[in-house]
A and B are shown apart, each in its own frame.
Chain A
Amino acid sequence: MALLQISEPGMSATPHQHRLAVGIDLGTTNSLVATVRSGLSGVLIDTHGYALLPSVVHYNADNSVEVGYEAQKKQNNDPHNTIVSAKRFMGRSLKDIDTSLLPYKFIDAVSSVSIVQIETRAGAKSPVEVSAEILKVLKARAESSLGGELVGAVITVPAYFDDAQRQATKDAARLAGLNVLRLLNEPTAAAVAYGLDNASQGTYVIYDLGGGTFDISILKLNRGVFEVLATNGDSALGGDDFDQRIFCWILETCKLSPRNAQDTRLLLSKAREAKEWLTEHAEANISCLLSDGEFVNLTLFYEHFIELTNNLVQKTLSPMRKAMRDTGLNIEDINGVVMVGGATRMPQIRKTVADFFKQTPLTNLDPDKVVALGAAIQANTLAGNKSDTDLLLLDVIPLSLGLETFGGLAEKVIHRNSTLPVARAQEFTTYKDGQTAMSIHVVQGERELVSDCRSLARFELRGIPPMVAGAARIRVTFTVDADGLLSVSACETSSNKEANIIVKPSYGLSEDEITNMLKASFTSAEQDKVARMLVEARVDAGAIVEAVSAALKVDSALLTAEEKHLIEVEINTLKNIALTENTDAIHQAIEVLNHATETFAARRMDVSIGEAFNGKNLDTINL
C-alpha cells in the first residue's frame, strides 16, 4: 500500500536537523499557531495575512466545511450549521450547558459516557470534531509556511480545565492528525513568553480572561524555571458572557419577544461589536434590522455597560483570592501582573485588577498572541531543538482528585495545586465477608459531596480473593502526568493473587469512534482499523529506534561492549520486523528493545543528575 510509505511525523527527521514544531492556542473565539524560527517565536499568518483564525466552523450539506473568517460570514444567516465557541462544550454533557441563549440543537450523545453533540445538516457533531476542524486548518497553515511535516504541537488549554476537558482537547488533536507534545496551561504559556521576553525574575500573576474561560496563575520565575505556585479560575466565564449581558439588555430595552436563531446570532454579534467599541469610546450605537421587520436602534453608554457587567468582573475576584491564599503570599510579594486574553482590553477589568494587586497591570504584550508565542517556545524545546534558554515548566493540577466513599462523600487523594507529575495511593478495604468486587468512582473538584464534583470514571475491581470483611487491602493509585491527565490503577495487595487494572478515564471519544471518524475522512476506502494500527506501530517503532540510536551515539561509553551489542541486535531486529505487516510482532519487538534499554536509561539519568544525588544509583530509588 503506497499510502503507508509516506513518512510519518517524527520519522524522517535526523537528530541534528531542525524539527518543525508549533504552539497552538485553541481559543474560544480565535485560534493561532506560532513557531520558533532562528531563535525567535512568531505567529504564522495565512495567505491573506491574517494571524487570527476565528474559532468558527461552518458545515455544508455535502459534509465539506469552512473554518475561520469564511465560516464567520455565514453565522448570521446559517446559525444552526455554524458552530462558534465550541471550546465551551469540550468534555461537557448536556446538563452542564446553559442552552437557553444558544442557537443550536443540542443532543446528549451517550456512548461510554454522556457527551454533548450539536445537530447540523452534516450530521451530529461533537465539540471534539469541531475543534479538530480548526486544528486541521492550523496544521495545514503551519506545514505550508514551514515547508515540511510537523514533528508535533504543544496545544494550550485553560489552566482550570478538568480532566474531561483536557482529554477532549487531546482527542481533537489526534483527530486532526497532530502529534501532541504537551498540553500546556494557557497562563503558563503566557508567562513563558512574557518572562523570557523581559528577563523577569520573581513572583508573577497571570490574569487570563479569554472568550469563554478565566484563569489565574501565580508563578515563580527563576532562571528559566517557571514554577506554578497556584492556579484557579472559572472554565465557564469569559468575554462571551459580557456579550450576552448586552444581548439581554437589548431584548429587555426593546421589549423583544424570544428570537429565532438568526436574530439571536445577529444580536450577539452586535453586542460583541458594541463591547469592543466601548473599550475606547464613551458610547456605542447598536442598530440592526430583525427578521420580522422590527428595527433595533439603541445607544449603550460606557457607564451603563459597567453596571450591566459588574458582577462578571466581580466573579473573577474570588478565584484571585483563592489562588493568593493557596500560595500563602501577600499582595506585596507580587512583582507583576500580566494581562492575557482579548477580554482584558476592557478598562473595567484592568481597573479591578489594578485595585486588587495595588499595581498597574502589564499590558505590553499582545493579549491575543502571547499564549501561542509561549506555546511555540515550549514546543521548540520539547521537539529537541537546541535553544539558548534552558526552559523548564513545573505546572500544577488545578482541581483536586478523589474517590467516592461511604455516604456519597468525596475523599481527596491528590490535592489541587500539587506539582506535576504526581502519584498518590490510598488503601481501601472490603466491608462484607467474601466480597470479591469493589466499585471505584473517581471524581474531580473541591466540594465535599460527590454529587457536587465532576464524575470522571467508574470502574469495577474484580477478582478480589474472598476474605472476611476488612481483611482485603485494595490499593488505588492515582497518577497525573505532565499533561495533567489522570490514570488510575488498583490492586489487592494482601494476597499473592494481584488484581491489577489501569483505567484512563475517557470522555472524549472511544477508540472505535476515532477509527470511524478517521476512516470517514480518508478518501481511500480500504483504510481500516488494522491498517491504522499498523501505521501507528511503525511510527512507535521508528520513534524508539531513533531515540535509542541517538542515545547510543552520545553515551555508549556507559555500556560494556556486550551490552551495547545486545541493544544493537534488538534495534536491527525491530527495524526488520517493522518492514513486515505484522502489527503484533512489531509491538513485541518494541517491548523487547524497550526492556533491553532499561539499565541504559537509568545510567544515563544517573550521570545527568550527577552530584545532587551524591553518585547514588537511581535503581535504589523506589516510589
Chain B
Amino acid sequence: MTQNYFELFGLEAMFGIDQTLLEVNYRHIQSESHPDRFVTGTPAEKLKSMQLATLANEAYQTLKSPANRAAYFLTLKGITTITETNTAMPSDFLMQQMEWREAIEDAKFAKNMSALDDLLTEIKQEAKTLNAELISAIDTQKDYGAATKSTRKLIFMDKLTIDINKVIELIEN
C-alpha cells in the first residue's frame, strides 16, 4: 500500500490542514532524508534518500498550494478536476474570466502597472472566497461536486495570476 501525501506528513486528509504542522513535518522529513545526509552513505542509501527527498518536495508543494491540495484531495476520492473534455463552468464565472482577460490586455497595451497590481489584489480576494468555499464543501459538507467546481475556479485564478505576472515582467523589460 502506498502512502498518500497527507499521510506522509502525518496530516488528516482534508482541505483546511494545519499549515504549520505541514511545514514542521516537511522540514523533519527533509532533515532525515535529504541527500546531504548521505554524502558518505552507501549507494543504496543515496538512491533511497534521493527518492524520498524528491517525493517529500513534490508532496509538500502539492499540499502547500490550496488549488493543488484541493485537486489532490479530490483525486484521492476518484474525481479528476483537470481534464480537457470537462470544461463546463458556470456562465457568470466565464464572463468574469473574460472581463479579467480583457483588463489584462488593456493594461498590457497601456503599460499600466497599477491596474495590474489592482487586478492581482482582486484575484487574491476572489481566491480567499474560494478557499472558504472549499473548507465548507470538503471539510464540512463533504459535497465533492461543489468542491470540484470551486477547485476548477481556483485553478483558473492561479493561471490568471501567472499570466498577470508574465505581463508585468514584459512591461518591466
Residues of A within 8 A of B (CB): 181-182, 222, 225, 227, 318, 321-322, 325, 381-384, 390, 392-394, 418-423, 479, 481-482, 543-544, 546-548, 550-551, 590, 594-595, 597-598, 600-602, 604-605, 608-614, 616, 618, 620-623
Contact = CB atoms under 8 A, between A and B. Distances in A.
Contact of A605 (B1, B3, B9, B48): B48
Interface centre among B27, B39, B53 (most CB of A within 10 A): B39
Contacts, number: 131
B116 to A, nearest CB: 11
Contact of B36 (A381, A604, A605, A616): A381
B97 interface: no
Nearest to B173: A318
Contacts of A181: 39
B50 interface: yes
Interface in B128-163: none
Contact of B10 (A325, A595, A614, A620): A614
Contacts of A322: 169
Given A481-B35, A608-B32, A612-B25, A618 B52 contact: yes
A421 B2 contact: no
Given A325-B165, A551-B42, A623 B48 contact: no
B36 A182 contact: yes
B34 A482 contact: yes
A17 B3 CA distance: 40
Nearest to B56: A419
B29 interface: yes
B50 A421 contact: yes
A604 B48 CA distance: 10
A609 B33 contact: yes
Contacts of A610: 32
Given A392-B34, A394-B30, A601-B45, A418 B52 contact: no
16 contacts: A382-B39, A392-B30, A419-B57, A421-B53, A421-B54, A551-B45, A601-B41, A601-B44, A605-B45, A605-B52, A609-B32, A612-B25, A621-B2, A621-B8, A623-B54, A623-B55
Given A383-B40, A612-B25, A613-B10, 13 more contacts: A225-B31, A321-B172, A393-B36, A421-B50, A423-B54, A546-B40, A594-B42, A601-B47, A605-B33, A605-B45, A605-B48, A610-B32, A621-B2
B80 interface: no
Contact of A612 (B1, B9, B42, B172): B9
B57 A418 contact: yes
B34 A597 contact: no
Contacts of A608: 32
Interface of B: 1-3, 7-10, 25, 27-36, 39-45, 47-55, 57-58, 60-61, 165, 168-169, 172-173
A318 B170 CA distance: 11
Contact of B48 (A420, A479, A551, A601): A601
A325 B43 contact: no
Contact of B2 (A325, A481, A544, A622): A622
A613 B8 contact: yes
A90 to B, nearest CB: 24
Contacts of A383: 39-40
Contacts of A618: 48, 52
B39 A182 contact: yes
A614 B7 contact: yes
B162 to A, nearest CB: 10
Contact of A422 (B29, B40, B58): B58
Closest 6 CB pairs of A and B: A601-B44, A601-B45, A598-B44, A609-B32, A382-B39, A482-B35
A173 to B, nearest CB: 15
A600 B44 contact: yes
A609 B10 CA distance: 12
B124 to A, nearest CB: 9
Contacts of B33: 605, 609
B139 to A, nearest CB: 21
A21 to B, nearest CB: 10
B41 to A, nearest CB: 6
